[in-house]
Amino acid sequence: MGPSAGALRRATIVLLFAALIWGSMIPVLATLAQHYDIWLLSGARYLLGLPVLWLAVLLSAPPAAAPGKLNWSRLLKLGAAMTGFSVFYTFGVANTHPATAAIVLMCAPIWATLLSRLMLGATTPQGFFTTLVLVVLGGIIVVAGTPGRQSGGYGLEGGEGLLVIAQLSWSWYSIRAQQWLADRGQIALSALTSTVASVLLGIVCLVVWGAGGITWPVRPPTIGELGMIAWVGVFGVAIAILLWNTGVSLVGVPVASLFSNSAPVFAIGLAALFGHEPSWLQLVGGVVVLGSIGQLQLRQMWAARSPRPSP
């Protein structure tokens, strides 16, 4: 039996909010990266997000049933998967043509679906694969229509495989986190895994620093930059990860991953608010992405409301 209509509505809301937050990260991080090292930004994001997650744990009601004993080996694996995503993503983007990187990232729902099939034998709702093709196609149209897109072909530059590994790491984390920690609730699940990931990411940053790979800022951040750093930490990590895990718990990784492709669409909308007019291709691609996701969710809601035949 699939998710109820109520679960589908909640999943749609939380996953769209997560995509909206991740979409806002694109222009914000691009602005911050002009003055601050990307490794420092990655570490700062997690450190700023953790207090918010643990405060939410303290304020939330405990699970109705007592959770099982915490398996530290599994928790370490989950944190390593989150860290792997961050590291592989960083190196992948740095070694891939921007247009090619964006297109590879648009294929995330494909890898999520394949991994769910392999790990869980998961089935997908009716019409999912048509929606998958349309969402990926719409995302590619959005990328191709970006005004002022860096010139050059879509040739391979070596980082594309790292981006795929990053996506597989995130999908693996999303699946296993629900299997191993869902009994603790989505807030505690997000706080525990993010804490381990921040420690591991901190170790990675120390290694990179020791190898001379981190450039320290030459001036203190402005008030505006502090606000942007707080945004990418509190919302880009803490809130977005919590929303994502909640959505995955309701509809599974394949369907949830479709929503991640709407992040660039929201980025376009946010950019338009600041005077950056989108191209007609971006608008068409955005309509295709959001329309495809919307019709799939509506079809599932109608199916969930329909009376089921008696046995």
Q: Please provide the average confidence, as pLDDT, over all residues in the chain.
A: 85
pLDDT of 140 > 60? The answer is yes
What integer pLDDT is reported at residue 177 of this predicted model?
96
- Residue 71, C-beta contacts closer than 8 angstroms, at least 6 positions apart: 180
- The 8-class DSSP code of residue 166 comes to H
d(CA 135, CA 113): 13
pLDDT of 308 > 70? The answer is no
- Residue 271, C-beta contacts closer than 8 angstroms, at least 6 positions apart: 27, 278
d(CA 9, CA 304): 11
> Is residue 173 a contact partner of residue 82, using CB atoms and an 8 Å limit?
yes
Structure tokens at 68: 């099982």
Q: Which long-range contacts (CB under 8 A, 24 or more apart) does 75-78 make?
A: 75/180, 75/181, 75/192, 75/193, 75/196, 76/196, 77/176, 78/173, 78/176, 78/177, 78/180, 78/181, 78/192, 78/193, 78/196, 78/197
- The 8-class DSSP code of residue 183 comes to G
For the stretch 75-121, pLDDT in tens is 999 999 999 998 888 788 767 766 677 777 778 888 898 999 899 88
How does 79-114 read in b/e, with b if 16+ C-beta sit within 10 Å?
bebbbbbbbbbbbbbeebbebbbbbbbbbbbbbbbe
Cβ count within 10 A of residue 185? 20
For the stretch 218-269, pLDDT in tens is 888 899 999 998 998 899 889 999 999 999 999 999 989 988 888 877 777 7
Q: At what angle do helices 5-32 and 253-260 cross, to 10 degrees?
A: 40
What integer pLDDT is reported at residue 27 of this predicted model?
76
d(CA 249, CA 60): 18
> Is residue 184 a contact partner of residue 67, using CB atoms and an 8 Å limit?
yes
- Confidence class of residue 200 from pLDDT cuts 50, 70 and 90? very high
Beta strand residue intervals within the chain, DSSP E: none
What integer pLDDT is reported at residue 175 of this predicted model?
95
d(CA 225, CA 221): 6
Q: Per-residue pLDDT averaged across 170-190, rounded?
A: 95
pLDDT of 128 > 80? The answer is yes
